Chain A
């Protein structure tokens, strides 16, 4: 039975007015290789620093090995870090760098020597003990940083983009070695990177993050093959993403044709995004195909050709080992299991009337604050993303409502809240129950207004 090693509960972190992490929840099992993957600024490094003890959460709890460690100093945590630019001690030689943590533990000299030698052997730098740090190459420094951290035998190793400064070939070799090391040592790794290839190669579990939220958690295969959102699909490898309509379960319509697929659980005729990986599209004879297009451009990529095909003014990218001439008409086909259907980001749409001071009235008693400067009495269309409808305690909210329905959407749920016969949809990862009364709260800057046209749309 595996046990939970790290448990992050409702972590929020703000620097001044900027919120870096929003109500972040994640648990990590023992011996897991977990990668936090996301673009720079998504909060992944901040999260890692909080686990290491170099930052503290604005609110929320961090549990390590069953104990709350919020206020514990970094030197008292059984966690070690491999820093992004290695952060080796320039005034010490290789031996003293690696022995730094052991000396602090008041270990016997002979034992320190043994442990350091074993660690250097593991990172394949035996005999480097007396070398000065400034005589090492980037790859060697990276290995010393690894050795310095693992020699302390931590329960958890944090790695902050450790390979970012290395060249491509070395990076690929190190990816393999890191994974081997992790298996050999049986230490839990939390690895932070913005490199999707690194994440896919090494991880047991990938946590895709953006703007301080988890977008998807899963094995590399799950993340690659079944991206849950447009962002994940784009971030993990290349993708063709087109708009489609779910005609019924297991049948989707896009590019004017209907295709069998393996997805269900959408409402009838729901607008969806259809994701197809470039390597899953097949080029066939135009007369046999439901999708027809013209080859517009192509690039030879070594293993495959990348071919861009224009279909109904949209560009599809196909990876194929066969070469095709430019300008010819071809057909495209895809097998049902390679069509990935994604729910469109939810949107609440209401009609309303402007009140004083940018307030907008959408029913008798529901008045929302907005940042608009439209004149009083203007009829407007109000659009609010489902992710921006926040459910909170009743006293701190704009108005209250009753939960009518909850639909699970992977890691988050769409909660349908009714108030004065108006339904608000809120996408949230918090747990709610049908029938509960909740407070609804929407930040003024998230309320998007558009003047309603007189002559319809």
Chain B
């Protein structure tokens, strides 16, 4: 419970209509896409950086935890109020401040929804590539805080590769500017990069300066069906070895295809054991040539069938297959643990074999799909929580999946972040000295430990 005195201060800062401690609101800001539930004591909806600074100053003085939240669509619990306290929602800061077509730079507030920003710049012939699956509803502030990825990252890189500068409210309530709007800049520590992926533990992002690219002229989508997962994996290596970096290189394993087949009635040859969805973008002539080269490269690798989209509608049909995956997984089991490990792309086949062995060992279905082009595989451990023992099995399997990814030179999270769901496993990946180094930064910036506590690190 928040003291009435504190609630009154919050009302004075953000206005009484922008703070609530009603049970219904507390419940509605207690969850994210991980389906965990932690009730906050209050929820505030500040209008600008100044109000956020005042909230943090007060929270510091009173030692009340504050949890920044965008769309609440995270997959690692990053925005959850795990200790109770104040959830600070950034969705009122939702303006695109400017799009500079001369310098290819844009400035936005953190509550802008990613897809709405993309549509705005694309109207001007510009391009913001990062495309997390949640782009229709997740916010740019959340994307920066978690350093979101997406299918296009194989060619274009992740969110942090497009962030030139930030305005940040520090945990102690100062408003600082990091980076700038130039393409180069080496004055002082690169705090912009430090903030990217800091999961809201080091500051609250209130303004984002974004680098843009010219919008590619055209794109071409292909669906290639392989008779083995190895063929598909070798295809990925061969395409990139052939000096072609496609925009996306998405793969689906046999278990995924079976789910999609059952859920959507998708027609696939019986021999289909893996699928790659490959998209190239750029000049019209270039992509035609690249598409031909790609088909030649993969031809000897057990290709069962190829579908090349000739129209936008056909391209949409292919992407529909990929998008139907998440929902169709429910055919296997009702509860899903979606882990986003990442390995060097040449190790994707080894990783898939490891996962298959883990699934067999624990006798639970594990379905794999994802961004093969950059080695980022979504490993979905499918269970039914209602069946006794399954949750424990899943936890054991997940730990083994992480161990396998690390053994192959990978990481336990490519794009979702640590949050509170992966923090128990953190010591598996980071050595103690590195963790100490990180915690020293956190302690120096947030001595009272009020900003998003309980995330990344266990204590």
- Do they bind each other? no
